[in-house]
Amino acid sequence: MANIQEIAKLAGVSSATVSRVINHKPHVSSETRAHVQQIINQLDYVPNINAVSLKKGATKMLGIVAPTFSDSLGTFLKNFTLAAQQGGYNVTLFLTGLDKQKELEAFERLRNKQLDGLVLVIRLNEWDVLESYAKYGPIVTWQRVEDRNIQSVFMNQYDGYMLALEHLYEKGYRKIVNAYGNTAGLNTKSREKAYADFCQKYDLNPNEFKHFYNQGHMSEGETMARWWVDQTHKPDAFVMATDYLASGLVTEAKRLGLSIPQDFAVVGFDNTLVAHLLDLTTIHYPIGKQGENAFIMIDNQLSKRTNPLEALSFHLVERLTT
């Protein structure tokens, strides 16, 4: 395999000159430049990137770390990767499952210089152990975090959730059931708070109905449709944690012969493909833009620039379920 020395010898110059040609640096006469370039082409030479990385102490590689592969992650990953590639970086994916150790492995890559930066979608380990890696390179997360060493593209879902509630109120719905996500999650807390404030504002009883806490699987939405049928005192609207959950509810309702929004209204969250597919009213969650921002933040730190971030906001997408 050809290396820079070989090129130098064949071109009758020093390796320094070859290096200058490769990296388009000045101080090479155009004749020598052309000549060296010709030899390079002739031998089909490319620089060994590991040597470059070793020398420069940077790899132009970023990592993205998440426990599992979901639709949302797909969107995030896609936009992040595209932005990164645009900026001259490549990105490698770490799927951690539920394995804390696996997550640490990704962070070790930052330490051992294989990665210049990292975006952590959902963490497994405690913040303080992850935070200790910040000194090895920029870390950005999707989640909310109070740490000046780790930046975040977090969006407070309070605002988005309130959008859904206000929309329902405006449409005349008063008997609203909430299906939240993970009990422990911060997003759930924000949404609960939004609902509490909403009830206070309009003088509604926040505990008129059961509150659901789900893992986001479609089948849990299906269960809720059957739950509705069983109730004597029935709600007239559902706000669902995700579009998938909502789609479970909607499709099962149809199987049961119910009609939406006549029997009850449904609002999803995220505005993913299924929402379009099922004509779901939903809250648009700009995950793609968050991915782009994640890159911008990393890039800004790495290159000490200060490029502006994309503006992020939720908005309501009204379709046929309300």
Partner DNA sequence: TTGTAGGCGTTATCAG
Partner DNA sequence: CTGATAACGCCTACAA
Binding pattern for the stretch 74-93 against a copy of itself, x by CB under 8 A and - elsewhere: x--xx--xx--x----xxxx
Q: Is 137 left (phi over 0), alpha (psi -120 to 50) or beta?
A: left
Query: Quick one: tokens of 190?
Result: 């924000």
Residue pointed to by tokens 């993913």: 272
Query: Quick one: tokens of 19?
Result: 């290096």
Binding pattern for the stretch 261-300 against a copy of itself, x by CB under 8 A and - elsewhere: ------------xx-xxxx---------------------
What whole-number distance in Å separates Cα of residue 49 and Cα of residue 37?
Answer: 18
CB closer to DNA out of 13 and 249: 13
DSSP codes of every residue in 229-259: HH-SS--SEEEESSHHHHHHHHHHHHHTT--
**Contact residue for DNA among 47, 87, 185, 206 (CB under 7 A):** 47
**Considering only residues 12-31, where is the footprint of DNA by CB under 7 A?**
12-17, 19-20, 22-23, 26-29, 31
Stretch that binds a copy of itself, among 23-31, 42-50, 117-125, 205-213 (CB under 8 A): 42-50
Residue pointed to by tokens 């969107």: 75
Q: Applying CB under 8 A, does 95 fall inside the site for a copy of itself?
A: yes
Q: Are strands 176-180 and 150-152 parallel, antiparallel or unpaired?
A: unpaired
What whole-number distance in Å separates Cα of residue 318 and Cα of residue 62?
Answer: 37
Exposure class string for 13-42: b at 16+ Cβ within 10 A, else e: beeebbbbbbeeeeebeeebeebbeebbee
**Considering only residues 227-266, where is the footprint of a copy of itself by CB under 8 A?**
244, 247-248, 251, 255
User: Closest separation between CB of residue 81 and a copy of itself, Å?
Assistant: 5
278 binds, among DNA, a copy of itself, none (CB under 5 to 8 A by kind): a copy of itself
Q: Applying CB under 7 A, does 44 fall inside the site for DNA?
A: no
What whole-number distance in Å separates Cα of residue 278 and Cα of residue 276?
Answer: 6
265 within 8 A of 239, measured Cβ to Cβ: no
Question: Is the preceding omega at residue 261 within 30 degrees of 0, hence cis?
Answer: yes
Q: Applying CB under 7 A, does 56 fall inside the site for DNA?
A: yes
The site for DNA (CB under 7 A) is made up of 1, 3-5, 12-17, 19-20, 22-23, 26-29, 31-33, 45-48, 51-52, 54-57
Please give the residue ranges that form the binding site for a copy of itself (CB under 8 A): 46-51, 53-54, 59, 61, 69, 71, 74, 77-78, 81-82, 85, 90-95, 97, 102, 108-109, 111-114, 218, 244, 247-248, 251, 255, 273-274, 276-279
